[in-house]
Amino acid sequence: MSADTGKPMKAGHVNVLVVVDTAYVKSTYGPNENAAEPRHISSQRQFMVCTGAGAIRAQGSSELRLSANVGDRIAVRVTSICGNADDAVIAYSISQRSGAKVFGRFKQAVVTRAAAVRPDPDSPYRNGLPPIESRVDCSSFESTVIAQGAAELQLAFGLYVISVNGQSQNLFGYYAWNQSFRFDN
């Protein structure tokens, strides 16, 4: 309930996009083909941006701090620095490691867009417009904020590298890092 009106507060939706510096991961940590034991990496070369939360601090850094209310939904998406066009990352697990029990269990959510737009490589002005439509699956990990405080989550992802012929992406390894999230009133 809102203290001001006495009416129930509408839950907000917080979107977090994590961008992984894949060149750094590859050169620093090397390959690892065991998904059950992802190689632990530093959080310093992952960058987070956020919408839907109040009082966001450290936007674009690895130490995001934001305000959210109990009941707000959070969706975390992960991509590579090149938007998965060359190296690609696919998140496969988010779990709590330490701190306050700030989140409910994270679950993968996949949304299929039957007619998502993408640039047309053969557009009349070679600028991608008008776009063409194609099917795309969008993945996120979602949870609900259940308390205020700080928590450390482990985010795990698979890293896929562009093939020699530039037409496919092949597994390079599985990695994880611990990420602090702080929710304040």
Compute the average pLDDT of residues 40-50.
87
What's the pLDDT score for residue 60? 57
Q: DSSP readout, 53-115? A: -EEEESTTSSS-EEE--TT-EEEEEEEETTTTSSSEEEEEEEEEEEES--B---EEEEEEEEE
Compute the average pLDDT of residues 139-151.
92
What's the pLDDT score for residue 45? 84
Compute the average pLDDT of residues 130-144.
96
Pull the structure tokens for residue 8: 């129930």
Answer whether residue 163 shows pLDDT above 70: yes
The proportion of the chain whose per-residue pLDDT surpasses 70, expressed as a percent, equals 86
What's the pLDDT score for residue 76? 94
Furthest CA-CA distance within the chain: 62
Compute the average pLDDT of residues 35-60.
81
Question: pLDDT, tens digit, for every residue of 85-119?
Answer: 999 999 999 999 998 899 999 999 999 999 999 99
